[in-house]
Amino acid sequence: MGTISADFQDWAGERQQRMENVLLGLLPAAALAPQGLHDAMRYAVLGGGKRVRPLLAFAAGELSGADPERVAIAAAAVELIHAYSLVHDDLPCMDNDVLRRGKPTCHIQYDEATALLVGDSLQTLAFQLLAEHTLNDDPRRQLEMIRLLAQASGSRGMAGGQAIDLASVGQALSLPELEFMHIHKTGALIRAAALLGAHCGAALHDGALDGLNHYAKCIGLAFQVVDDVLDAEASTATLGKTAGKDAEQHKPTYVSLLGAAAARDMAQELHRDAVDALTSFGAKAQRLRDLAAYIVLRQF
Amino acid sequence: MGTISADFQDWAGERQQRMENVLLGLLPAAALAPQGLHDAMRYAVLGGGKRVRPLLAFAAGELSGADPERVAIAAAAVELIHAYSLVHDDLPCMDNDVLRRGKPTCHIQYDEATALLVGDSLQTLAFQLLAEHTLNDDPRRQLEMIRLLAQASGSRGMAGGQAIDLASVGQALSLPELEFMHIHKTGALIRAAALLGAHCGAALHDGALDGLNHYAKCIGLAFQVVDDVLDAEASTATLGKTAGKDAEQHKPTYVSLLGAAAARDMAQELHRDAVDALTSFGAKAQRLRDLAAYIVLRQF
């Protein structure tokens, strides 16, 4: 599977910083009316998060020689969708969580109505960005990017996965059912991040797109398996969000279904599958390989 | 100002029916997983509403000779944004309303978490439709339509107006402040409906677009003024939603600021302004004239 490149931390750190700057510039200024809403939108997005999805977009953009300035906009759109989903998921009627990225969640820092509108507005802004910036010389491919992001976020993607998750609390799920939920809840947006990054550059042939797709699917699932292991084993301080909530809420997880050791093995296997799917890309896929290792190896 | 064409009811009824059929076909089937979410999305959108925004899109499409099948998709996208905003506005942390279009609101019929995801998913679907159907032979104009809808719906449009509205409960607003709120809260999406309908056809020259814009701005405001009068004077049974809520919640309205008679006069004046803005279009704007009269004259 190879190890993480020696300069990966620099590569990732630079792009995380760029992402922060781009988001800072793209979010409405807090001085613009309605100021309370804009202030809360900035609170929910800026200054936190590992920006895994943007990093995937940048890494996938290297496959197609995409202009990093274009990739940054696509990555920002994906990150805004992710941020909106966190704000809504934390609401009392959903996961009812008070801590996120080491800070009070949006509805605790502001109020529920504001958090609702923050999520709504961040979603809208994501699509606005994809429509108003030039991301590909061919506007048809840009429309395809919007379609991809919408499909990944909506009722047949992320939001649908969230609905399945809610319905599954306290239920005994099988492994395939758990996988179905996560492929939607987190996997779809992770896949979209990789595809959107690549779509900012030259068109990939179908076989190459299939490879990227399979990589992203494996990585998305591995990400969730690792999350489950961390939730079961890490502390709230390390995570920056409330730990142990899955068990407390009797949520089915890979750890509760397989045990921690087998869950770790599963993450390793998904890692191998992901890397295998990149073979034909050669050196251009090195950052995707790095990211796969980074996602699977973080904390353990 | 002219009167409503004799065949307006037929024209509108046909398009309302078409809109219902198109929405029925575009919403995910209730049999598709996650079934609970899809069932609730259909509940929130189908079988209700006057479809004012779609009617505006169809009427504006006549200015540019737009293909009605294309307009129907754009109109559906606008209506989905409208429906999402109603579902979220009715939530306990917002207006806390239990009745909408004569039926229990979405979170009463299902639950709060489902209503949250319904709103989120309807918004996503709106943008998905605009990206995956061909709405104009020029994909650049289609991107412009997505940008327009996003701008009209987000923190500088509808959602922003909602934030201003929440912040204004119990406050003494001036007439310009009230207007600022409504131009965002309801006006922006009504304008977007008209513009998107026109954008499905041949490009309008700048002067014509300005005229349509001014018409839509006046109609959007008139719509709200009439709403305020109806809320103050009509019964819950007539409205299909809880009447008298504005006064009960001490919300500033055109009626509380101006009195009912002056509010009626204001609606008439906006009607005149709207119709004046259409002069250069001649007969092609007849349905827009009809709609202006319909909006201002409904119930009084």
Q: How far apart are CA B285 and CA A113, in angstroms?
A: 40
Q: What is the pLDDT of residues A216-252, one digit of tens each?
A: 999 999 999 998 998 888 765 565 666 666 666 677 8
Cβ neighbours of B119 in A, within 8 Å: 120
Q: Which of residues 48-87 of B touch A (CB under 8 A)?
A: 84
Single-letter amino acid code for the residue at B137: D
In total, chain A counts a number of residues equal to 300
Q: What is the DSSP string of B200-267?
A: TSSPPPHHHHHHHHHHHHHHHHHHHHHHHHHHHHS-HHHHSS-TTHHHHTT---HHHHH-HHHHHHHH
Contact A198, A66 (CB under 8 A): yes
Select the residue from B80, B91, B124, B148 to test the A interface by mutation, using most A Cβ atoms within 10 A. B124
> How many Cβ atoms are within 10 Å of A179's Cβ, its own excluded?
16
Whether the per-residue pLDDT at B4 is higher than 80: the answer is yes
Judge if ipTM > 0.85.
yes
DSSP 8-class letter at B99: E
Cβ neighbours of A125 in B, within 8 Å: 150, 154-155
Q: What are phi and psi of B189, to 5 degrees?
A: -75, -35
Q: What is the pTM of this model?
A: 0.95
What's the fold here for domain B8-297?
A: Farnesyl Diphosphate Synthase (1.10.600)
Cβ neighbours of A38 in B, within 8 Å: 155
The position carrying tokens 């796969």 is A292
Indicate yes or no: CB of B125 within 8 angstroms of CB of A32. no
Residue B197 tokens read as: 């309908």
Q: What is the DSSP string of A117-141?
A: HHHHHHHHHHHHHHHHS--SSSHHH
Q: Which of residues 81-140 of B touch A (CB under 8 A)?
A: 84, 88, 91, 93-94, 111-114, 116-117, 119-121, 123-125, 127-128, 130-132, 139-140
Select the residue from B43, B45, B97, B128 to test the A interface by mutation, using most A Cβ atoms within 10 A. B128
Q: What are phi and psi of A96, to 5 degrees?
A: 50, 60
Whether the per-residue pLDDT at A41 is higher than 50: the answer is yes
Q: Say what the pLDDT of residue B244 is.
A: 67
Indicate yes or no: CB of A128 within 8 angstroms of CB of B91. no
Query: Of A94, A111, A124, which has the smallest distance from its Cβ to B159's Cβ?
Result: A124
Q: What is the pLDDT of residues A176-199, one digit of tens each?
A: 999 999 999 999 999 999 999 999
Q: Say what the pLDDT of residue B300 is.
A: 47
Q: How far apart are CA A155 and CA A167, in angstroms?
A: 14
Cβ neighbours of B139 in A, within 8 Å: 139-140, 142-143
Higher pLDDT, A48 or B113: B113
Task: With cut-offs at 50, 70 and 90, classify the pLDDT of residue A300.
Answer: very low
Indicate yes or no: CB of B34 within 8 angstroms of CB of A131. no
Q: Say what the pLDDT of residue A101 is.
A: 86
Contact B88, B53 (CB under 8 A): no
What rounded mean pLDDT belongs to chain A? 93
Q: What is the mean pLDDT of the segment spanning A51-73?
A: 98
Indicate yes or no: CB of A131 within 8 angstroms of CB of B146. yes
Nearest-5° Cα angle at B53, B49 to B57: 140
Q: How far apart are CA A68 and CA A58, in angstroms?
A: 7
B260 touches chain A (CB under 8 A): no
Indicate yes or no: CB of A166 within 8 angstroms of CB of B88. no
According to DSSP, the β-strands at B99-100 and A103-104 are unpaired
Cβ-in-10-Å burial (0-12, 13-18, 19+) of A213 comes to middle
Contact B167, A144 (CB under 8 A): no
Q: Say what the pLDDT of residue B168 is.
A: 87
Q: Worst-scoring range by mean pLDDT, A54-63, A230-239, B49-58?
A: A230-239
